Structure 1
Amino acid sequence: MKTFQSLKEFPALVGQEVAVSDWLTITQEQVNQFAQATGDHQWIHVDVEKARAGPFGGPIAHGFLTLSLLPRFFESTMEIVESRMGVNYGLNRVRFMAPVPVGSRLRARLKLLACEPIANDGMQMSWEVTIEREGEAKPVCVAESIARRYP
């Protein structure tokens, strides 16, 4: 985990890969819980037997489950000592480029695209988040995440 003292350090990092997360294994339990929470019970996610005969050879994670891991990737890769709060401000672009079979290990690469001061001494940061699947060259998801942080 990288530790930053304050938000003032981030403008100098624009254009750079700031952090890479540890690997995270996607389980069928996570997929099932996500289906419960969202109501998305499509068989390619939750019917293990049917999914084995399907196009991916087994169940795959929901694309939005993969996307919902962004906060976890951020929290596990960096700490900003003098920041009391961060809020998700939205997404500019999201692409799901490859499936995530259950049992896959994922990690995220976090590249800072922009960093601008906002009200209340905050900072709005745009991040390119590239989520990789272990052993695969093609990312499973690339998203531009916008976050606001406050001291």
Structure 2
Amino acid sequence: MTTQLETPADLVGMVGHQLGTTAWMEITQQQVDRFAEATGDHQWIHTDPKRAAAGPFHGTIAHGYLTLSLAPVVIADVLEIRELTAALNYGLNRVRFPAPVPVGAKIRAAVTLNSAQQKTSGVEAVFGLTYEIDGGTRPACVADVVVLYP
């Protein structure tokens, strides 16, 4: 499901609404390795499948920040604003990683519009993202993501 709006100002009237849920996305070892390379975080629980098999998660897991970094893709998947100049990552209000994401797992995210305000610089929107793991009992990530639409 994709929510379609004409302009960012239309977000102000959508506060409190769930905007949609993404399709399932598989997290691959290649993604994890590339994220490790980009960030310098080569901890063995992420990048060494052999060692990780004997570790606490019985295999490699995605970086929490890799899951979080999917936020722009997640929001774009559930929200289309037809007349859009730009969408700027403005920050985060809250982030938690309640459950690890095993490599090979599928995740998806539900997106709710927590707030939207017209400001001098544009519309500031806070999206509540809840990432779930296929077959999991706890979310992989819960985050309040702030986006500025100038």
TM-score of the aligned structures, taking structure 1 as reference length: 0.94
Tell me by how many angstroms 1:119 deviates: 1.9
Tell me by how many angstroms 1:78 deviates: 1.6
Name stretches of at least 5 consecutive residues in structure 2 with no aligned partner: none
Tell me by how many angstroms 1:8 deviates: 2.9
Residue 77 of structure 2 corresponds to residue 76 of structure 1: yes
C-alpha contact 2:26 2:106 (8 A) present in aligned 1: yes
Q: Which residue of 2 aligns with 1:34?
A: 35
Matching of residues 84-95 of structure 1 within 5 Å = 84-95=85-96
The secondary structure found in structure 1 opposite 2:33 is helix
Of the structure 1 ranges 3-12 and 129-138, higher mean CA displacement relative to structure 2 is found in 3-12
Q: State percent identity of aligned pairs.
A: 44
Quick one: which amino acid aligns to residue 10 of structure 2?
E
C-alpha separation between the residues in 2 aligned to 1:123 and 1:20?
22
Q: Which residue of 2 aligns with 1:67?
A: 68
C-alpha separation between the residues in 1 aligned to 2:5 and 2:17?
15
Tell me by how many angstroms 1:46 deviates: 0.3
Name stretches of at least 5 consecutive residues in structure 1 with no aligned partner: none
Tell me by how many angstroms 1:74 deviates: 1.1
Q: Which residue of 2 aligns with 1:7?
A: 8
Residue 93 of structure 2 corresponds to residue 99 of structure 1: no
Tell me by how many angstroms 1:79 deviates: 1.2
C-alpha separation between the residues in 2 aligned to 1:126 and 1:75?
14
Quick one: which amino acid aligns to residue 132 of structure 1?
E
Q: Residues 21-49 of structure 1: CA distance to partner in whole angstroms, max 9, x if unpaired?
A: 11110000000000000000000000000
Number of residues of Structure 1 aligned to a counterpart in Structure 2: 149
TM-score of the aligned structures, taking structure 2 as reference length: 0.95
Tell me by how many angstroms 1:11 deviates: 1.7
* RMSD (Å) for aligned C-alpha atoms: 1.0
C-alpha contact 2:19 2:78 (8 A) present in aligned 1: no
C-alpha separation between the residues in 2 aligned to 1:55 and 1:87?
37
Residue 126 of structure 2 corresponds to residue 130 of structure 1: no
C-alpha separation between the residues in 2 aligned to 1:142 and 1:134?
15
